[in-house]
């Protein structure tokens, strides 16, 4: 994982530098960009009694001040140009349990582990860009 202050986002490739965001031939790109709410990560940390950096979750973007919609098909605008579509919940994996006992379960309720999205329109996003539901 690498933390950056800005990144290019494309319809075919997701976030620049993240090979998992590339749409595979015949694929639908349902997991191009993953987002997680800061408050959800903090709640999970409180539940397991740890203070692990959010980047260990391996979500692409940490969102602050927005309750991520838990409905596939909802669109999110980041900055002026980037448009994402929620596709599904980001399921917590066994790696979370290796970070802290109970973390996988702490990330399970109410999409606390985050949301997967596909890129509908690309552009450049940066830390502090506004994010809103369209």
Residue 2 reports pLDDT greater than 90: no
131: in domain = no
134: in domain = no
133: in domain = no
Residue 27 reports pLDDT greater than 90: no
**Number of structural domains the chain divides into:** 1
Burial 14-26 (b: 16+ CB within 10 A, else e): bbeebeebebeee
pTM above 0.85, yes or no: yes
pLDDT at 73: 98
Share of residues in the chain with pLDDT > 70 (%): 100
Count of alpha carbons within 13 Å of 94, Cβ hemisphere only? 0
pLDDT tens digit string along 96-123? 999 999 999 999 999 999 999 999 999 9
CB atoms within 10 A of CB 95: 12
CATH number of the domain residue 64 falls in: 2.40.33.20
33: in domain = yes
pLDDT tens digit string along 61-94? 999 999 999 999 999 999 999 999 999 999 998 8
37: in domain = yes
Domain assignment of residue 47, given as a range: 6-126
Contact between residue 133 and residue 69 where contact means Cβ atoms under 8 Å apart: yes
pLDDT tens digit string along 29-67? 899 999 999 999 999 999 999 999 999 998 999 999 999
Residue 1 reports pLDDT greater than 80: no
132: in domain = no
């Amino acid at each position: 994982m690498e933390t950056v202050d800005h990144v290019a986002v494309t319809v075919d490739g997701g976030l620049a530098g993240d090979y998992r965001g590339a749409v595979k031939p015949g694929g639908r790109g349902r997991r191009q960009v993953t987002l997680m709410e800061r408050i959800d990560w903090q709640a999970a940390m409180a539940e397991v009694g740890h203070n692990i950096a959010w980047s260990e979750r391996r979500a692409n973007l940490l969102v602050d001040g927005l309750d991520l919609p838990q409905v596939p098909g909802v669109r999110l605008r980041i900055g002026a140009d980037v448009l994402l579509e929620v596709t599904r919940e980001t399921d917590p994996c066994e790696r979370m349990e290796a970070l802290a006992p109970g973390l996988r379960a702490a990330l399970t309720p109410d999409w606390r582990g985050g949301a997967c999205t596909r890129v509908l329109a690309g552009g450049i996003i940066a830390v502090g860009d506004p994010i809103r539901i369209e």
